A = this chain, B = another copy of it.
Amino acid sequence: MTNARQIADNYIATWNATDAASRNALLASHWANEPTYHDPLMTAANAEELVGLVGAVQDRFPDFRFKLTNTPDGHGDFVRFSWGLGPDDAEPVIEGSDVIMLENTRIKHVVGFLDRVPATA
């Protein structure tokens, strides 16, 4: 059984990393080589693009943080969970659900979906 919670925590930590050094360190620790990311708004085909996406989200929402909104579960090389993005101590402004595919216990592919998007986003 996959350690779904730990993997989801590592993933969320990557998105919450506020500087490039932290992002690169989290990528090196928890992600596979040549990771991919696809959600309705953004796509990354490798680590460099992924770090760029995280930086872009941090730049756009500097006071927001990602957090888990349910208990991650998984099987084999797959993990799923839901997340929210918003200010600390407030309801999330944006919510989504992601599925992670692992390679040798590292995050390899991510497919994300949006569950709630503000009308003014």
Q: A residues near B, CB below 8 A? A: 38-40, 43, 73, 75-78, 80, 97, 99, 101, 111, 113
Given A38-B78, A78-B38, answer yes or no on A73-B43 (Cβ-Cβ < 8 Å): no
Identical chains in the assembly: 2
Contacts of A43 in B (CB 8 A): 76
Contacts of A113 in B (CB 8 A): 73, 75, 78, 80
Contacts of A75 in B (CB 8 A): 38-40, 113
Contacts of A77 in B (CB 8 A): 38
| 16 A-B residue pairs with CB within 8 Å | A38-B75, A38-B76, A38-B77, A38-B78, A39-B75, A40-B75, A43-B76, A73-B113, A75-B113, A78-B111, A78-B113, A80-B97, A80-B113, A99-B99, A99-B111, A101-B111
